[in-house]
Amino acid sequence: MDLLQRIQRWYTIQCNGDWEHSYGISITNVDNPGWWVTIDLKETSLEKAVLPMQPTQQRSPTNWVLWYVEDYKFIGSGGPENLTEILTYFLDVFLPANIDPDYLFDIHLPVRGYENRLWLKAEAKMLSESTMEVVSIADASQACFYEWGVDNDLDLLNELGDTGLELQTYYTLADKVEPLVFQSADNILRTFLIAPVPS
């Protein structure tokens, strides 16, 4: 996976229907010349990270980097050829050293026979920028622990609820997943993190 795909994966895992409305990643240029990278850490597994500002690593007038955490933001800056170095530092050094193992993400597991229509709620912890581990799965017999794709699928869930739920998912505790973002076709406010259907 290349660097851009890896940072996209980290961003994707944060998108839960709320986070992406207030937070995100910003990459812009500075006029000396160089790059300025800001990555919001609030409401992520990196929220508790501490990285004091250090002196700039000045190798030449156009080859320099610095990074620190301030106000729940990872901030990296560097010369015109140092953008890759900044993102690599975030993904390979900063992220693994600062993942909070107790921070849990809501994730939704696909239901067998109702793929891309119904998901069972679960929780997972982050292992890397692209991988999570399932740590809890909701009671599959209770209709309140399911999410549906479009409003028509809500009717399906209501019908299934009347007959008693004996639905199964593809995943069990401790399974590793590379989640995706699901956004309902008929309601963009219904956005949540899902585990893919195994191939």
The whole model's pTM is what?
0.91
Pick the more confident residue, 48 or 152: 48
Residue-level pLDDT at 167: 86
**Average pLDDT score over the chain:** 93
Residue-level pLDDT at 186: 77
Q: Which amino acid is at 30?
A: V
Residue-level pLDDT at 151: 75
Dig out the tokens for 130 from the structure: 């692209």
Helices (H), the chain: 3-14, 19-22, 83-89, 95-98, 151-163
Q: Are 63 and 79 in contact (CB under 8 A)?
A: yes
Of 86, 62, 57, 58, the residue nearest 74 (C-alpha): 86
Domain ranges of the chain: 3-98, 105-194
Rounded mean pLDDT, 102-122: 95
Cα distances (Å, whole numbers) of residue 99 to 24, 143, 193: 17, 33, 19
Query: Tokens 């530092």 label which residue?
Result: 89
Q: Are 7 and 129 in contact (CB under 8 A)?
A: yes
Give residue-wise pLDDT tens across range 162-194: 555 778 999 999 999 999 999 888 777 778 999
